[in-house]
A and B are shown apart, each in its own frame.
Chain A
Amino acid sequence: MRLYPHLALVKDVPMTNPARPPLLEVKNVCASLGGADVLRNVNFSVAAGERLGIVGESGCGKTVMGLSILGLASSAFHLRGEIVFEGRNLLDLPAKAMRHVRGREISMIFQEPMVTLDPVFTIGEQICETLRTHFKLARKEAREQAIDALAQVGIPAPAERVDDYPHQLSGGMRQRAMIAIALACKPKLIIADEPTTALDVTVQAQITNLLVELSEKHGTALLFITHDLGVVAETCDRLITMYAGQVVENAGIDDFLARPLHPYSSGLLRSLPRMSKRKTALPSIPGRVPTVAEMPAGCRFEPRCSLAQAPCKAEQSLLPAGEARKVACCRYDELMLPGVLN
Chain B
Amino acid sequence: MIAAPLVSVDKLKIHFPTKRRGRTVKAVDGVTFDIEPSTTLSIIGESGSGKSTLGRALVCLTRPTEGTVLHDGTDPFRLGRSALRRHRRDYQLIFQDPHAALDPRMTILESVREPLDIVGEIPKADRNAQAHGLLERVGIAPALHERYPHQLSGGQKQRVNIARALTTRPKVLVCDEVVAALDVSVQAGILNLFADIQRDFGLTYVFITHDLAVAAHISDEIAVMYLGQFVEKGLAEAVQETPLHPYTRALLSAEPEPLPSAMRENNRIVLKGEVPSPITPPAACRFHTRCPRAQARCSKDAPDFRQLRPGRWVACHFAEEMLEEAGEKAQAGPAERAGQRQACE
A contact set with B: CB distance below 8 Å: 6, 9-11, 13, 57-58, 170-173, 200-206, 208-209, 227-234, 253-254, 257-258, 267-269, 271-275, 277-279, 281-286, 288-289, 340-341
Question: Which of B46, B153, B188, B218 contacts A271 (CB under 8 A)?
Answer: B188
Q: What is the CA–CA distance of A57 and B155 in the complex, to the nearest angstrom?
A: 13
Select from chain A the residue with minimum beta-carbon distance to B254: A205
**With contact pairs A205-B268, A209-B270, A275-B213 given, residues A234 and B263 touching in the complex (Cβ less than 8 Å):** no
* A-B CB contact pairs (8 Å), 18 listed: A10-B261, A170-B274, A201-B210, A201-B254, A202-B250, A202-B270, A205-B256, A227-B184, A229-B258, A233-B264, A234-B257, A271-B184, A273-B188, A274-B217, A275-B217, A275-B240, A278-B237, A340-B258
Choose the segment among B10-18, B24-32, B189-197 that binds chain A (4+ C-beta atoms closer than 8 Å).
B189-197
**With contact pairs A272-B213, A275-B213, A275-B216 given, residues A204 and B254 touching in the complex (Cβ less than 8 Å):** yes
Q: What is the CA–CA distance of A273 and B186 in the complex, to the nearest angstrom?
A: 12
**With contact pairs A200-B275, A202-B250, A257-B259 given, residues A284 and B212 touching in the complex (Cβ less than 8 Å):** no
Task: Apart from A229-B184, A229-B258, A275-B217, list 7 A-B contacts with CB within 8 A.
Answer: A200-B210, A234-B257, A234-B264, A274-B213, A278-B216, A284-B188, A288-B153
**With contact pairs A205-B254, A273-B217 given, residues A11 and B274 touching in the complex (Cβ less than 8 Å):** no
Q: What is the CA–CA distance of A271 and B189 in the complex, to the nearest angstrom?
A: 8
Q: What is the CA–CA distance of A230 and B260 in the complex, to the nearest angstrom?
A: 10
B178 to chain A, nearest CB (A): 13
Q: Which 3 A-B pairs have the closest CB atoms?
A: A230-B256, A273-B217, A271-B188
**With contact pairs A288-B153, A340-B258 given, residues A203 and B185 touching in the complex (Cβ less than 8 Å):** no
B contact set with A: CB distance below 8 Å: 46-47, 153, 155, 183-189, 191-192, 195, 210-214, 216-218, 236-237, 240, 250-251, 253-264, 268, 270-271, 274-275, 344
Q: With a CB–CB cut-off of 8 A, which chain A residues contact B183?
A: 57-58, 227, 289
Q: With a CB–CB cut-off of 8 A, which chain A residues contact B253?
A: 205
Q: What is the CA–CA distance of A234 and B192 in the complex, to the nearest angstrom?
A: 27
Contact indicator B271/A202 (Cβ below 8 Å): yes
Q: What is the CA–CA distance of A227 and B211 in the complex, to the nearest angstrom?
A: 14
Q: Counting chain B CB atoms within 10 Å of each CB, which of A202, A209, A269, A277 scores highest?
A: A202
Q: Counting chain A CB atoms within 10 Å of each CB, which of B184, B195, B274, B275 scores highest?
A: B184
Contact indicator B251/A202 (Cβ below 8 Å): yes
Q: What is the CA–CA distance of A173 and B273 in the complex, to the nearest angstrom?
A: 9
Q: Counting chain A CB atoms within 10 Å of each CB, which of B216, B217, B255 scores highest?
A: B217
Contact indicator B186/A254 (Cβ below 8 Å): no
Question: Which of A206, A268, A279 contacts B195 (CB under 8 A)?
Answer: A279
Q: With a CB–CB cut-off of 8 A, which chain A residues contact B270?
A: 202, 205-206, 209
Contact indicator B256/A284 (Cβ below 8 Å): no
Q: What is the CA–CA distance of A208 and B257 in the complex, to the nearest angstrom?
A: 13
Contact indicator A278/B236 (Cβ below 8 Å): yes
Q: With a CB–CB cut-off of 8 A, which chain B residues contact A340?
A: 258-259
Q: What is the CA–CA distance of A233 and B274 in the complex, to the nearest angstrom?
A: 24
Q: With a CB–CB cut-off of 8 A, which chain A residues contact B191?
A: 273, 282
A339 to chain B, nearest CB (A): 9
Q: What is the CA–CA distance of A289 and B250 in the complex, to the nearest angstrom?
A: 35
B226 to chain A, nearest CB (A): 10
B21 to chain A, nearest CB (A): 22
Q: With a CB–CB cut-off of 8 A, which chain B residues contact A341?
A: 260
Q: What is the CA–CA distance of A272 and B253 in the complex, to the nearest angstrom?
A: 18
Question: Which of A13, A203, A233 contacts B257 (CB under 8 A)?
Answer: A233
Q: With a CB–CB cut-off of 8 A, which chain B residues contact A11?
A: 261-262
Contact indicator B216/A268 (Cβ below 8 Å): no
A199 to chain B, nearest CB (A): 9
A321 to chain B, nearest CB (A): 18
**With contact pairs A201-B46, A205-B270, A231-B256 given, residues A271 and B261 touching in the complex (Cβ less than 8 Å):** no
Q: What is the CA–CA distance of A220 and B339 in the complex, to the nearest angstrom?
A: 53
Dominant secondary structure at the B interface: helix
A254 to chain B, nearest CB (A): 4
Contact indicator B257/A230 (Cβ below 8 Å): yes
Contact indicator A272/B260 (Cβ below 8 Å): no
**With contact pairs A267-B185, A273-B218 given, residues A203 and B260 touching in the complex (Cβ less than 8 Å):** no
**With contact pairs A57-B183, A288-B155 given, residues A230 and B216 touching in the complex (Cβ less than 8 Å):** no
Q: What is the CA–CA distance of A177 and B317 in the complex, to the nearest angstrom?
A: 36
Q: With a CB–CB cut-off of 8 A, which chain A residues contact B155?
A: 288
**With contact pairs A57-B184, A278-B237 given, residues A273 and B213 touching in the complex (Cβ less than 8 Å):** yes
B41 to chain A, nearest CB (A): 14
Q: With a CB–CB cut-off of 8 A, which chain A residues contact B217?
A: 273-275, 277-279, 282
B192 to chain A, nearest CB (A): 5
Contact indicator B255/A9 (Cβ below 8 Å): no
Contact indicator B187/A271 (Cβ below 8 Å): yes
B249 to chain A, nearest CB (A): 11
Select from chain B the residue with minimum beta-carbon distance to A59: B183
Question: Which of A234, A279, A286, A288 contacts B256 (CB under 8 A)?
Answer: A234
Q: With a CB–CB cut-off of 8 A, which chain B residues contact A230?
A: 255-258
Q: With a CB–CB cut-off of 8 A, which chain B residues contact A233?
A: 256-261, 264
Q: What is the CA–CA distance of A273 and B344 in the complex, to the nearest angstrom?
A: 20
Contact indicator A273/B185 (Cβ below 8 Å): no
Select from chain A the residue with minimum beta-carbon distance to B253: A205
Question: Which of B46, B258, B262, B344 contacts A200 (CB under 8 A)?
Answer: B46
Q: What is the CA–CA distance of A11 and B263 in the complex, to the nearest angstrom?
A: 10
Q: With a CB–CB cut-off of 8 A, which chain A residues contact B212?
A: 201
Q: What is the CA–CA distance of A204 and B253 in the complex, to the nearest angstrom?
A: 12
B15 to chain A, nearest CB (A): 22
Q: With a CB–CB cut-off of 8 A, which chain A residues contact B275?
A: 200
Select from chain B the residue with minimum beta-carbon distance to A201: B254
Q: What is the CA–CA distance of A145 and B268 in the complex, to the nearest angstrom?
A: 31
Q: What is the CA–CA distance of A161 and B253 in the complex, to the nearest angstrom?
A: 29
Question: Which of A172, A202, A257 contacts B254 (CB under 8 A)?
Answer: A202
B235 to chain A, nearest CB (A): 11
Contact indicator B258/A271 (Cβ below 8 Å): no
A290 to chain B, nearest CB (A): 11
Contact indicator A273/B274 (Cβ below 8 Å): no
Q: What is the CA–CA distance of A274 and B218 in the complex, to the nearest angstrom?
A: 10
Contact indicator B213/A284 (Cβ below 8 Å): no
